[in-house]
Structure 1
Amino acid sequence: MSGAKPPLIARIIWKIPLLAGPRLATATAEQLTKQQQKTRAKSGRMTAMTHQRVIDGPGGPITLRIHTPTSGNGAMVVHFHGGGWVSGSPREADFICSTIAEGTGAIVVSVDYRLAPAHPYPAGLEDCYAALVWVSENAAALGGDAARIAVAGESAGGNLAAGVTLLARDRRGPAIRHQALLYPATDATMSAPSHRVNANAPWLTAAGVRNAYHHYLPPGINRTDPGVSPLHATDHRGLPLAAIVVAGHDPLHDDGVWYAERLRQAGVPVDLFDYPRMVHGFANVPGLFSDTALALAELTKAQRRHLPSEQAPSSPHRPPAST
């Protein structure tokens, strides 16, 4: 968090009514469903070759949007888009997926997981895990290396990426070498100070986060369930190396910072990139914010460092030590 003001352009755009659909803070289930239908027709900016593949999932077909870099090295990144678990699509994540593909040389597979409110937790998380398993089992056919798989996601997608690493560790695979989390939601209790300090931040408010959880979580769910709140997992040992990006003017700022600290306490190395003047979602928007290019350059540099061309001698996943 920072005392510096967010960029003027962020404050101006935030005041334009319905610029990108219904405001998350007040969106109803019906509005979200209509917005989901609209996003299906949108196309994004692409710099890597892209194609789609449909696989079987736990609740029906899952569409994968696959970005192949112009110069690949065999690494693979399974990506989960943002949108508060209630909106968004792999098409809308074309910019960031293509940027990661070209910046790392990795094949990026973006997952069109099921969305709430029609499909509340854990539907989306299980879709994401199923997609990870499929990518691991079919890596060679995609031109990739199953020994060098990473995950990435922004906002709700960061939450899903962190959740998938916990599932993969506890279910004994697939192995994940790295996790890239951009302004992730890691604590559904919303108890961190940034939810109060940045309650009315532009682009995402605390009310918006609260409403997203309202639509995503089934009645009676324990908000400290690690699948919902990775921060509250009882053990973070054996999780993949991490790169975490946070924005100063974001209710989720402390979710990312606290998760970085929790991973470090468990012996997991973390690269934390904090942009004090930025707002939630800034790295997803090309050409609008001065820090977007810098953040993605730092992120892809960290990913390249932990997804080397040669196969590592051992799995990144280690079972927690006996106590």
Structure 2
Amino acid sequence: MPIPLRMTVFWAVFRHVDRMPVMQQPPERIRAASDARRRLLRLPTASLVIGRRHGGTDVVDREIPAADGTPLPVRIYRPRDSAGRRLPVVVNFHGGGWVSGDIRQSEWWCSTVAALAGVAVVSVDYRLAPEHPFPGPPEDCYDTTLWVSEHADELEVDAERLAVMGDSAGGNLAAVVSMMARDRERPPVAAQVLVYPSVDLVDALPSESENANRPILTGKDVANTPDVYFHGTPADRGDPYASPLRGKHENLPPALIQTAEFDPLRDHGSVYAEALRAAGVSVRLTNYVDAVHGYLSLPGLMPVARQAVAEAAEFLREQLRP
């Protein structure tokens, strides 16, 4: 199936409006480019593309402390009228190549998952590179997940029914947090939802060249981002907490992995599914054949986003049931 026409037209227009592709900037210009894109997505008409908050949810904004005491903004979604009920909980990590993005871009996805799956969703604004390079983002995401588990009573959630999810760089972070929780023996993570995740920052996979010039994410974006993510650090790109494909996969939680046919990261999802299965982990892998990278942030353009969110909600209901 071809890329939907409306997506092709949108991308042709957006490239002329977005003059500073975030992930193709040198480190010193990343924040300015990211802020410019954020302003575009806050225009009133942007909701026609990125979707609106689900009407069946209640939302609370607050801050929680990272391990070093830095306050991290979080946005908490609950199904409408669920106060007083202890719900399963899902911690969400947004995409953006570890250098861009915020919790607002996940608003449609997180609120819809909360409403459809009957769960609380905690979406975190982790600190970004290059100002906070690796291992900063995964540590912030782990700290948030641990905090949610330790404050389950306050949040009216069930710490024994906790999952993680994320898209793109956020999918990488969800996979990494699952590893961290296993290695550090807390908190218990019951499931992981990885949407077009990046799992190897060392070797290029075939889809990166096959889909190098597709909408939203290009091969050049994929190639440039690690330099910013590791900016000024001696870290090894093969570190399992950066490239989860290169870690040990035994005793990780069941996974739903979604990929997009016209995505440079498509093969990352499939090879990670193979690695998890080889380690005895239950995996559901779905490749959306008419989709591009970023579909879950573009429900107004990509009808497949609604199918994907329904699949994610079904998976979470199944994995987090009492």
> Please, what TM-score do these two structures have when normalized by structure 2?
0.90
- Matched-pair contact (CA < 8 Å) for 1:183–1:244: yes
Three-state SS of the structure 1 residue aligned to 2:285 is strand
Q: Which of residues 22, 29, 32 is equivalent to 2:30?
A: 32
Separation in 1 of the partners of 2:19 and 2:156?
Answer: 37
Q: Which of residues 51, 61, 69 is equivalent to 2:71?
A: 61
Show CA shifts across 1:86-130 (max 9, x none): 111011211110011011111000011000111100111100000
User: What count of residue pairs does the alignment treat as equivalent?
Assistant: 305
| Post-superposition offset of 1:185 | 0.5
- Matched-pair contact (CA < 8 Å) for 1:42–1:92: no
Separation in 2 of the partners of 1:301 and 1:230?
Answer: 25
Separation in 1 of the partners of 2:17 and 2:296?
Answer: 18
Which residue does 1:95 correspond to in 2? Answer: 108
**Are 2:173 and 1:160 aligned?**
yes
Q: Which of residues 228, 233, 236 is equivalent to 1:222?
A: 236
Change (3 A) 1:21 1:168: farther
Which residue does 1:52 correspond to in 2? Answer: 61
Which residue does 1:129 correspond to in 2? Answer: 142
Amino acid at match of 2:165: A
Which residue does 1:268 correspond to in 2? Answer: 281
Of all paired residues, the percent bearing the same amino acid is 42
- Matched-pair contact (CA < 8 Å) for 1:86–1:216: yes
Three-state SS of the structure 2 residue aligned to 1:274 is strand
1:293-312 to 2 correspondences below 5 Å:
293-308=306-321, 310=322
Separation in 2 of the partners of 1:163 and 1:131?
Answer: 13
Which residue does 2:184 correspond to in 1? Answer: 171
Q: Which of residues 11, 14, 20 is equivalent to 2:11?
A: 14
Which residue does 2:2 correspond to in 1? Answer: 5
Three-state SS of the structure 1 residue aligned to 2:157 is coil
| Post-superposition offset of 1:69 | 1.2
Which residue does 1:258 correspond to in 2? Answer: 271
> Please, what TM-score do these two structures have when normalized by structure 1?
0.89
- Matched-pair contact (CA < 8 Å) for 1:24–1:211: no
In structure 1, stretches of 5+ residues that fail to align are 311-323
Separation in 1 of the partners of 2:35 and 2:306?
Answer: 30
Amino acid at match of 2:20: P
In structure 2, stretches of 5+ residues that fail to align are none
- Matched-pair contact (CA < 8 Å) for 1:199–1:205: yes
Separation in 2 of the partners of 1:137 and 1:282?
Answer: 33
Amino acid at match of 1:31: R
| Post-superposition offset of 1:32 | 2.2
Change (3 A) 1:131 1:25: closer
**Are 2:160 and 1:150 aligned?**
no
**Are 2:249 and 1:236 aligned?**
yes
Which residue does 1:313 correspond to in 2? Answer: none
Q: Which of residues 154, 175, 181 is equivalent to 1:141?
A: 154
Which of the pair is proportionally richer in helix?
2
Change (3 A) 1:13 1:149: same
Q: Which of residues 204, 207, 212 is equivalent to 1:194?
A: 207
After superposition, the CA RMSD in angstroms is 1.9
Show CA shifts across 1:158-216 (max 9, x none): 00010000100000010000000100000112421111111111111111112221110
Amino acid at match of 1:241: P
Separation in 2 of the partners of 1:21 and 1:110?
Answer: 29
Show CA shifts across 1:261-313 (max 9, x none): 111111110111111121001122122112111111111111111010x2xxx
